[in-house]
Amino acid sequence: MKARRRVVTGSAASVKRRPTVRKIKPAIAPVARRASSSASAGSAATARSAASAAARPEPSLPAAPIDLAVDLGRGLVLGNPILVASGTFGYGIEYGDVVDVQRLGAICCKGTTLRPRIGNPTPRVTETPGGMLNSIGLQNPGVDAVVEKYASTWAGWQVPVIVNVAGESIGDYVEVVRRLDGVPGVAGIELNISCPNVGAGGIQFAIDANAAGAVTAAVRRATDLPLLVKLSPNVADVRPIARAIADGGADALTAVNTLSGIAVAPSRARPLLGNVYGGLSGPAIKPVALRIVYEVTQVVDIPVIAIGGVAELADVLDYLAVGAVAAQVGTAIFADPGLPVRLIGELADECRGRGLDSYRPLIGTALPKRAAPPSARGVEYRP
């Protein structure tokens, strides 16, 4: 509870956003200006929605402050529920010329491992109908280089940076997280557990409830940083795994990672990707991700962040309806780098249009009405 209260003082962070607000102020109607100065928590949202309202030909309603803040636990409070997904936004600096990164809810950085990795042979990416396959192979300079190169930049940002962590053993994960613990600029950890557990015959942590729970618990003991764990969709039933991770002490879940797939080279002589297997992302996987979020939100009581094919506001609203508290944008950034920031304004407008002062009433509206034990329906349709 005490941590929650600190969250309120943490919203003083949004007071720091005032310079941004001032810049946009001329576009805000006088009514809205009064409203934004009275409610500091929603001030950034006000500025955003007012700016987007001004961009539209017919501004509908006077901009009211909409509360878009998301509490992920352990003091990690995001200004809004739109995050950018690991692997699609680098370390947050690459898109700096064309995206106002400070307005994002949070940035999940590229997967980081203990030692540097050169990644997989090329080709590493290919487009597929409504999506893309990637097999980057976790190319990254290693945790020490990441901290040295980027952490001081992140520390000066108002947008929280969540470091995505990958490893081949529980020891790897723990060591990486130890080195990130207490580093200014690191706001949280997102565990990528869709990696082979080398010590246990190369079985992915994410497909085994015991391994997933164990790695979560081990990392939990190593750090007080907010801990997110990313679920894999490549499992028969994700619910026991989600429960194990929640029991292991994760603060939030991210659902889902990419779906495993392959493509064939145009010559038909071999698979296309250098690593043969790739991860499918993009609009093509949204129904699968939606199903998993729907199942997971009914069996855990920690927040779930949805990810999978978000390309427009309707996708965000769908994920909120099945119980997610926030959404990550990934593949769509490649086509439309401005999308995540635009979604924030559109979400505020959506709330305003429905007469809401917070986006929270949109969460869980499509879940079964009674808090019933999870249904087994649909299981037979799974591959």
Q: Name the residues that contact another protein, by CB under 8 A.
A: 87-90, 94-95, 97-98, 110, 118-127, 129-132, 134, 136, 139, 274, 282-283, 311, 331-338
Shortest separation between residue 129's beta carbon and another protein, angstroms: 6
109 included as an active-site residue: no
Nearer to another protein, 321 or 334 (CB): 334
Q: How far apart are CA 311 and CA 82, in angstroms?
A: 12
Measured CA to CA, the distance from residue 227 to residue 45 in angstroms comes to 26
Instruction: Quote the strand ranges of 11-146, DSSP E.
Output: 70-71, 77-78, 82-84, 106-108, 125-128, 131-134
Specify the pairing of strand 131-134 against strand 125-128: antiparallel
Minimal distance in Å, beta carbon 111 to another protein? 10
Cα dihedral angle (331, 334, 339, 341), rounded to 10 degrees? 100
Q: Which residues does 170 contact at the CB level (< 8 Å), separation at least 6?
A: 197, 199, 214, 215, 218
How near is the Cβ of 34 to another protein at its closest, in Å? 34
CB of 71 to another protein, least distance (A): 28
Element (H, E) at 196: strand 196-197
Pick the closer one to another protein by CB: 1 or 118.
Answer: 118
Q: Which is nearer to another protein, 98 or 269 (CB)?
A: 98
- Helix then strand then coil, in percent of the chain rounded to 5, is 40, 15, 45
Cβ atoms of 209 and 243 closer than 8 Å:
yes
Nearer to another protein, 36 or 86 (CB): 86
CA distance 134 to 285: 14
Catalytic residue among 108, 109, 195, 351: 195
Smallest separation, CB 255 to another protein (Å): 20
Contact 163, 191 (CB under 8 A): no
**Residue number with CB closer to another protein (139 or 358):** 139
Q: Which residues are designated catalytic?
A: 195
